[in-house]
């Protein structure tokens, strides 16, 4: 049997997206410390100390064109992002040569992968606490509310080889 023609592109897109997500460094744990140590002095929240009109501590500001008109960050495109060009530029590096500081190859790689994955400023979902769903109030009438009674009922019917029966509205006092 041949695969339907739509499948390969879907599978490819899924694997690319999965690869991207797995590859994306976490902003709070990995990216922010690099920017905070090396860039925020001159491209941070302090407008008085800010250089080239470039602010890197907030996503919306970081995506705006800087003084030269170049975009420091172009999400998804490290090769077009001035930030990445400057941290790897030997003639005109960032941080500036007179600071005597330089990003390590590992730090540059984290920034490159972060921009390639979309330059997200939020913590990675895996490190955020899951939000607690609001509990459904149990009804005092009947023997339980829908959220506990209905899955059990469907399971029982499936286990007996029958299809789950739709639950009529208003049953179980819900």
Sites of contact with ligand HEC (CB under 6 A): 38-39, 41-43, 51-52, 54, 66-68, 70, 72, 82-83, 86-87, 92, 94-96, 99, 103
Residue 30: CB minimum distance to ligand HEC, A: 14
Residue 136: CB minimum distance to ligand HEC, A: 48
Residue 20: CB minimum distance to ligand HEC, A: 22
Residue 95: CB minimum distance to ligand HEC, A: 4
Asked whether the beta carbons of 25 and 31 are under 8 A apart, the reply is yes
- Please report the sign of the dihedral spanned by the C-alpha atoms of residue 59, residue 64, residue 66, residue 71: positive
Pick the closer one to ligand HEC by CB: 77 or 158: 77
Q: Quickly list DSSP for 23-74.
A: HPPPIIIIIHHHHHHHTHHHHSS-GGG--TT---SSHHHHTSB-TTS-BS--
Residues 6+ positions from 61 with CB-CB distance below 8 Å: 55
Pick the closer one to ligand HEC by CB: 51 or 146: 51
The Cα 8–Cα 14 span in angstroms is 10
Pick the closer one to ligand HEC by CB: 24 or 81: 81
Pick the closer one to ligand HEC by CB: 117 or 172: 117
């Amino acid at each position: 049997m041949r695969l339907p023609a739509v499948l390969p592109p879907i599978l490819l897109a899924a694997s690319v997206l999965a690869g991207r997500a797995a590859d994306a460094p976490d902003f709070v744990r990995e990216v922010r410390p690099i920017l905070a140590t090396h860039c925020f002095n001159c491209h941070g929240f302090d407008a008085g100390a800010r250089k080239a009109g470039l602010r890197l501590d907030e996503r919306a500001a970081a995506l705006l064109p800087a003084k030269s008109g170049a975009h420091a960050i172009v999400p998804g495109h490290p090769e077009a992002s001035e930030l990445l060009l400057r941290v790897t530029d030997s003639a005109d590096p960032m941080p500036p040569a007179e600071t005597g500081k330089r990003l390590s190859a590992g730090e540059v790689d984290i920034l490159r992968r972060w921009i390639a994955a979309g330059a997200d400023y939020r913590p990675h979902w895996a490190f955020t606490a899951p939000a607690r769903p609001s509990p459904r109030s149990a009804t005092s009438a009947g023997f339980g509310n829908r959220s506990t009674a209905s899955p059990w009922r469907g399971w029982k019917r499936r286990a007996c080889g029958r299809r789950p029966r739709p639950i009529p509205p208003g049953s179980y006092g819900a």
